[in-house]
Structure 1
Amino acid sequence: MAIDKKTVQKLAHLSRLELTDKEQEKMSEDLGNILEWVEKLEEVDTSNVEPLGNVNEEPIHLRADKANNYFSDKEALKNAPESDQGHFIVPKVLS
C-alpha cells in the first residue's frame, strides 16, 4: 500500500518531526512496507487461536492490594510548608 507525501507530512506534523524530502520519501516507503506486512497478517486464520495473556506459562503471582503503610492526616501535614484545616496549601499554578 502506497503512502503519499501529504500523509507523511501530516504524520510528521502530528509527531512533531521535521523531515527532509529524502526522509519523507524513506518514511513513505517504510510505512507502505509496514502496511503491506499488516495486510499479510490479516490473511492468517486466527479463529481457533486463543488470546495470549502472558508469554510465559508460569502463573503470575500478584500481591494483595491493601494499604499497610499510610499516614494520618496530622503526620502527612507535619512537613508541609503551609496547611489549613487538614489541607495542603500550594502556590497557584494557573493564572
Structure 2
Amino acid sequence: MSEISEQQVAHLANLARIALTPEEISSLTSELDTIVDSIAKVQEVATPDVPATSHPVPLQNVFRDDVVGQTLTTEQALANAPESADGRFKVSAILGEEQ
C-alpha cells in the first residue's frame, strides 16, 4: 500500500518551487515510496536492545607528538622558483589584476 501519493509529491514540489512534469511526479512518488518502505524495514530491526551507532567500527583520533624537524631555509625553498622577490615566491596576478 502506497504511503506517498502523487498529490503529496506535487504539493511538496509546489512548496519548494520545483516545476515537475506528471512523469517526474509519478517517478518520484515511486522512489519516495521505496524509501519509506526501506525505512520501515530498518525500524523493524532497530529494537531497543540494538544500540544506535553512527559508525560500525569504533573510531579514535590518533595523535602524534608535534616535533619540529629539519626544514628548508628561505634560500633553499626559493632556489628552483621561477621568480621570487623579498624572500617570497612571486606569482602571476590573477583575475586580471596585473601589476
TM-score (norm. length: structure 2): 0.50
Amino acid aligned to 2:59: E
Cα distance in 1 for residues equivalent to 2:20 and 2:9? 9
Q: Which runs of 5+ in 2 are unaligned?
A: 64-99
Amino acid aligned to 1:48: D
Are residues 59 and 48 of structure 1, via their aligned partners in 2, closer, same or farther at CA, if it must alter by over 3 Å? farther
Residue 15 of structure 2 corresponds to residue 18 of structure 1: no
CA RMSD between the two structures: 2.3
- How far did residue 53 of structure 1 move? 5.6
Are residues 10 and 56 of structure 1, via their aligned partners in 2, closer, same or farther at CA, if it must alter by over 3 Å? same
Post-superposition, which runs of at least 4 consecutive aligned residues in structure 1 deviate over 4 A?
Answer: 53-56
Kindly report which structure 2 residues correspond to 1:1-95, keeping only aligned pairs within 5 A, or say none: 1-2=1-2, 3-52=4-53, 57-59=59-61
Cα distance in 2 for residues equivalent to 1:18 and 1:44? 37
- How far did residue 16 of structure 1 move? 1.7
Higher relative contact order (CA 8 A, sep 6+): 1
Cα distance in 1 for residues equivalent to 2:32 and 2:19? 17
TM-score (norm. length: structure 1): 0.52
Are residues 6 and 25 of structure 1, via their aligned partners in 2, closer, same or farther at CA, if it must alter by over 3 Å? same
Q: Which runs of 5+ in 1 are unaligned?
A: 62-95
Count, aligned residues: 61
Higher Rg of the two aligned structures = 2
Q: What percentage of aligned pairs have identical amino acids?
A: 30
